[in-house]
Amino acid sequence: MSVASAATRTVPFHVPHTADRQYAYLRQALDSGSLDGDGPFSARATELLSRLTGSRHVLLTPSCTHALEIAALLMDLAPGDEVVMPSFTFAPTASAFALRGAVPVFVDCHPDTLNMDESSLESVITERTRAIVAVHYAGVACEMREILRIAEAHGLPVIEDNAHGLGASYHGRPLGGLGGLAAQSFHATKNVHCGKGGALLVNDDGLVERATIIRDRGTNRHQYFLGQVDKYRWVDLGSSYILPEILAALLAAQLEEFDTVQKRRHAVWDTYHDRLADWASDQGVALPTVPEDRTHSAHLYHLVMPSETDRMALLRHLSEHGVQATFHFQPLHTSPAGTRHGRIAPGGCPVTERIAYRLVRLPLYDGLSDAQVEQVVNALLSFRTGAARVNDRKDPR
Ligand SMILES: *Cc1c(COP(=O)(O)O)cnc(C)c1O
C-alpha cells in the first residue's frame, strides 16, 4: 500500500518553467507576421544567450540535436572518420556524427563528476580522429584545460555538448564558450526551454559563415539579405535548421527569467546537498561532485547508489513516499545503435557500466515548493541501503 496519503501529494519529477511574459510574447510573435524565424524575438534570445555564454555567434536551432548535426556537417566528415565522446551521454551526441558516416568512439567517465575521462583520450586518438565532443554532465564542466590541450596537440576541434550547462563556468569562463563549437538545448526538460529548441554557439570565427549557410538549407540567403550577393543560391550541404519565431518568443521570455530560475534551482540543489550529506555517507551513497575550479548549472541532482538493487529499492521507496525519481543515460557503447555504429575505447567503459545502473535523479526545478523539497528529503532520510539485497530481487536492465 502507498505510504503517500492525500496530504502528501506526489512530487512530479519535472515541471517545465513557465515565464510570466511568454503568453504576451507568443501573441506578439503571432501577430507580427514574421513567423519563420530570425525575427525580433530570435534576435532578443540570441543576444541573451550571447551574454550568458560569452559566445559572439549564436545560431538558434530547432533542438540541440540539430545544432550537433550542423557541427557534424561543419567537420566535413567522411565515412570511417572518428569522433571521440563519452559513452555516458544522450543518443544524439553520437547520432549526429554517425549520420555523416563517422564512427563515435566511446570513452569512459570519471566516477565522481561522471564526465569524460580525459586521461583516456591520447590512447583513442588515431589518424582518423576528426573531433572531440565534451559533454558537461549535470552542468559540471569537463576537465577542459586538459581536453583543449590534447585537442590542440592533435589539431582537433572540441565541440561542447552543453545541453546541461547553461549558466555554469570553468575557471571563471562560461560553458559553451570554451570549444570551437557548442550545442545548447531548450527542450522542455532543461532549465529554460521553448518546448523544443536549441542553439549552436560558434566560437571559431572561421566557421561562422558556413554554419549560417548550413542552417539555412545550404543557401546563402543570409548574405543576400545583408546585400553581400545579388541573388541567393544553393551553395553547400545544409538543412532547415532555423528555430521558428514563435518558439523564439517563448525562449526569449524564458531567458529573461534565467537568473530567477537559476536562483531557485540552486537553492533546491544546495538544500539536497546539505540535508543528505550525513545520510549519504552513512549509506554509501555518492552525491554530486563539483570541483572547486568550476560552478555548476543546477541542472540535475543525482545519487549514485552502492548497488543496482539499492537503486531499484530506492526508486520503489521514493514512489511509495510520493516522490517521482528516475534513472538517466543508458551507456551508448552497449546500446543497439552504439554497438552497430560506434567503437569502444581499449579498456572499455567499466565506470560508465557501474554508475549508469546505480544512478537516481531527484526532482529539481524552480517550481518546487519548500514543502515538496522537504518531502523528497524526508523520503530519502528514511531509506536504508543494503536491506533490499535480502529479497534478492533481480534488476531489469
Ligand atoms: C537533452 C540533451 C540533448 C538533446 O537535446 P534536444 O534539444 O532535445 O535535441 C543532447 N545532449 C544531452 C547531453 C542532453 O541532455
C-alpha angle 283-285-291 in degrees, rounded to nearest 5 = 135
Q: What is the pLDDT of residue 7?
A: 54
Is 394 known to be catalytic? no
Residue 342 per-residue DSSP state: -
Q: What is the pLDDT of residue 258?
A: 98
Q: Are 85 and 105 in contact (CB under 8 A)?
A: yes
Q: Are 227 and 11 in contact (CB under 8 A)?
A: no
Distance separating alpha carbons of residues 99 and 77, to the nearest angstrom: 10
* Residue 358 in grid coordinates: 546505480
Looking at the DSSP bridge assignments, the partners of residue 11 are 323
Q: Are 44 and 25 in contact (CB under 8 A)?
A: no
Looking at the DSSP bridge assignments, the partners of residue 212 are none
Distance separating alpha carbons of residues 217 and 202, to the nearest angstrom: 18
Q: Which of 190, 196, 263, 394 is catalytic?
A: 190
Looking at the DSSP bridge assignments, the partners of residue 183 are 161, 200
Q: How far is the CA of 276 from the centre of ligand 1 (A)?
A: 28
Amino acid at 86: P
Best mutation site among 68, 88, 187, 247 for ligand 1, i.e. most ligand atoms within 8 A of its Cβ?
A: 187
* Residue 218 in grid coordinates: 545550404
Domains 22-255 and 258-394 share a fold: no
Q: Are 249 and 38 in contact (CB under 8 A)?
A: no
Q: How many CB atoms lie within 10 A of CB 236?
A: 14
Q: What is the pLDDT of residue 389?
A: 55
Q: What is the pLDDT of residue 396?
A: 47
Q: How far is the CA of 274 from the centre of ligand 1 (A)?
A: 29
Distance separating alpha carbons of residues 317 and 375, to the nearest angstrom: 13
Amino acid at 349: C
Looking at the DSSP bridge assignments, the partners of residue 397 are none
Structural domain 22-255, CATH architecture? 3-Layer(aba) Sandwich (3.40)
b/e burial code for range 152-167 (CB count within 10 A of at least 16 → b): eeeebbbbbbbbbbbb
pLDDT in tens, the chain (397 residues): 455 554 568 999 999 999 999 999 999 999 998 899 999 999 999 999 999 999 999 999 999 999 999 999 999 999 999 999 999 999 999 999 999 999 999 999 999 999 999 999 999 999 999 999 999 999 999 999 999 999 999 999 999 999 999 999 999 999 999 999 999 999 999 999 999 999 999 999 999 999 999 999 999 999 888 899 888 899 999 999 999 999 999 999 999 999 999 999 999 999 999 999 999 999 999 999 999 999 999 999 999 999 999 999 999 999 999 999 999 999 999 999 999 999 999 999 999 999 999 999 999 999 999 999 999 999 999 999 997 654 444 444 4
Query: Which CATH number is 258-394's, of 3.30.450.20, 3.40.50.10540, 3.40.50.12780, 3.90.1150.10?
Result: 3.90.1150.10
Q: Which SS3 state, helix, strand or coil, does residue 253 take?
A: helix
* Domain residue limits, the chain: 22-255, 258-394
The residue with cell 541542472 is: 299
Best mutation site among 49, 60, 63, 64 for ligand 1, i.e. most ligand atoms within 8 A of its Cβ?
A: 64
Long-range contacts of 151-158 (CB under 8 A, 24+ apart): 154/125, 154/129, 156/125, 156/129, 156/130, 156/131, 156/132, 157/75, 157/130, 157/131, 157/132, 157/181, 157/204, 158/131, 158/132, 158/133, 158/134
Best mutation site among 136, 185, 194, 254 for ligand 1, i.e. most ligand atoms within 8 A of its Cβ?
A: 185
The ligand 1 site (C-beta within 6 Å) comprises 63-65, 89-90, 92-93, 135, 161, 163-164, 185, 187, 198
Q: How far is the CA of 147 from the centre of ligand 1 (A)?
A: 21
- Phi and psi at residue 258, to the nearest 5°: -55, -45
Q: What is the pLDDT of residue 224?
A: 86
CA-closest residue to ligand 1 atom 15: 163
Using CA atoms, how far residue 315 sits from 15, 58, 80, 112, in Å, is: 19, 39, 41, 21
- Indicate the length of the chain as a whole number: 397
Q: How far is the CA of 338 from the centre of ligand 1 (A)?
A: 17
E strand or H helix that includes residue 301: strand 301-304
Q: Count CA atoms within 13 Å of residue 46 on its CB side.
A: 19
Using CA atoms, how far residue 25 sits from 36, 42, 77, 196, 369, in Å, is: 15, 12, 40, 17, 27
Q: How far is the CA of 101 from the centre of ligand 1 (A)?
A: 20
Q: pTM of the predicted model, to two decimals?
A: 0.95
CA-closest residue to ligand 1 atom 5: 64
- Looking at the CA of residue 164, tell me the nearest atom of ligand 1: 15
